[in-house]
Amino acid sequence: MRSRTRLGVVAAALGVTALALTGCSTSTSDSAGAATTSSAAKGPAVDLSGVCPSTVVVQTDWNPEADHGHVYQMLGANPKIDASGKSVTGDLMANGKSTGVQLEIRAGGPAIGYSTVSSQMYQDKSITLGYVSTDEAVEFSGNLPTTAVFAENDESPMVLMWDPATYKSVDSIKGLGKALKAKGGVVRYFSGAAYMTYLAQAGYLPTSVQDGSYDGTPSKFVTAGGKDAQQGFATAEPYIYQHEVAAWGKKLDSSLVSSTGWNPYPETMSVRSGDLAKLTPCLKKLVPVMQQADVDYFTNPTPTNDLIDTLVQDYNNGWTYDAKVGAFAVQQMKKLKVATDGSNGYVGDMDASRLNSFITKAAPIFEKSGGHVQSGLTADDLYTNQFIDKKIGFGF
């Protein structure tokens, strides 16, 4: 889930960033020049009218960022921005042509009171699709069941990060755990994170080096002078801490949490499980459009990153994120294989064996921490690949 973990970038940027927010808005307006590459893409027209809602509503799990690139890529030119409502609406595009329906993208995180997307989807039935990572899907499978229909990314960009000047020989999370214990350092994270329980149980990080006091600011990390480590996202913090946190201003090393075996699919496009049958005619056409938008975004991310930059400025809620961070995020997603075709040559599918392995690890942790895990939960309860077009892939 994004709501706790993404707060770090907000506070870091607020406290010591060199960026300034401009062009803020408090009302609905046209965003001049905010066009995505969807308007330049080529291919056959796709008609979603009659099978999809007249407005397809997508609830994201955080403020606009490059990690959400594919969904913003589907917006047509000059979408309407509702700065007060933290949403943007425009023609839903496919292959450079309108599909006959609208797309509304809603910000998550602070815009929904840091609620989980699953909870928001069940409170507001106008939401068509939500960004639900599979750890969240497992945790709430018993009372807020969701079914993933498209995985825009194959790996979570969640990392633990550290100072390479202090820990010169560390190249993994297990190595970090040993080094921190020897030096008396800790790794700070938002309290309650299930993956930290897993890392302790699996022998990667002893509980003695785990510190759940991370408050979203860089102050403790900076004050520690490199002795301590911290959670983050490979797509943001390494760049921000080096280039925008003046009190640090140095490179960081990091390792993906997914490398330890805690490997949920991040931010899958999901529907309420009870609505899957009703939405099937829509999803048969819409999911390939999402796949192609993902490919188009990575082919030319700049226009969409510029739109994301515009949205961040207009929403003006303390989150700072510009096109430079977006460009870094795209590079990282490629480099670290966060975005990938996997082994089959097409994008967006999920693997049952991987999900079942994750359920085995995650379900007992969530059950002990007060989660609502469905009895007898299996991968088939969490996802379907039936709408994926096997001809659409990144090719990298």
Q: Which residues pair with 253 in a beta bridge?
A: 162
In the structure, what pLDDT confidence band is assigned to residue 41 with cuts at 50, 70 and 90? Answer: low
Q: Across residues 214-243, what is the average pLDDT?
A: 94
Domain count, the chain: 2
Are residues 222 and 234 part of one domain? yes
Confidence (pLDDT) at 135: 97
Residue 337 domain flag: yes
Is it the case that residue 25 has pLDDT exceeding 60?
A: no
pLDDT tens-digit readout, 150-170: 999 999 999 999 999 999 999
pTM of the model: 0.90
CATH number at residue 12: 3.40.190.10
Is it the case that residue 324 has pLDDT exceeding 90?
A: yes
Q: Is 278 exposed, middle or buried (0-12, 13-18, 19+ CB in 10 A)?
A: exposed
Of 216, 238, 260, the residue at which a domain comes to its end is 260
Confidence (pLDDT) at 347: 97
Q: Are 182 and 157 in contact (CB under 8 A)?
A: no
Q: Phi, psi (5° rounding) for residue 47?
A: -100, 110
Domain encompassing residue 134: 7-155+264-381
Q: Across residues 375-394, what is the average pLDDT?
A: 98
Are residues 221 and 107 part of one domain? no
Query: Residue 250 and residue 244: Cα distance in Å, rounded?
Result: 10
In the structure, what pLDDT confidence band is assigned to residue 320 with cuts at 50, 70 and 90? Answer: confident
Confidence (pLDDT) at 7: 41
Query: Residue 240 and residue 246: Cα distance in Å, rounded?
Result: 9
Of 206, 240, 260, the residue at which a domain comes to its end is 260
pLDDT tens-digit readout, 301-315: 999 999 999 999 999
pLDDT tens-digit readout, 59-113: 999 999 999 999 999 999 999 999 999 999 999 999 999 999 999 999 999 999 9
The angle that helices 323-335 and 276-299 make with each other, rounded to 10 degrees, is 100
Q: How far is CA 158 from the centre of its chain?
A: 9
Is it the case that residue 13 has pLDDT exceeding 50?
A: no
Q: What is the mean pLDDT of the chain?
A: 91
Q: How far is CA 93 from the centre of its chain?
A: 22
Degrees to nearest 5, angle at CA 164 with 163 and 168: 135
Degrees to nearest 5, angle at CA 247 with 242 and 252: 30
CB atoms within 10 A of CB 336: 18
Is it the case that residue 2 has pLDDT exceeding 90?
A: no
Which residue is it, tokens 């301590």?
A: 228
Are residues 249 and 277 part of one domain? no
Q: Phi, psi (5° rounding) for residue 180?
A: -65, -40
Confidence (pLDDT) at 22: 32
Residue 389 domain flag: no
CATH number at residue 227: 3.40.190
Query: 98: helix, coil or strand?
Result: strand
How many angstroms separate the most distant Cα atoms in the chain?
A: 63
Are residues 296 and 223 part of one domain? no
Residue of 287, 288, 254 whose CA lies nearest to 156: 254
Query: 109: helix, coil or strand?
Result: helix
In the structure, what pLDDT confidence band is assigned to residue 29 with cuts at 50, 70 and 90? Answer: low
The fraction of the chain above a pLDDT of 90, given in percent, is 86
Q: Across residues 138-158, what is the average pLDDT?
A: 97
Q: Identify the residue with better confidence: 276 or 192.
A: 276
Are residues 291 and 142 part of one domain? yes
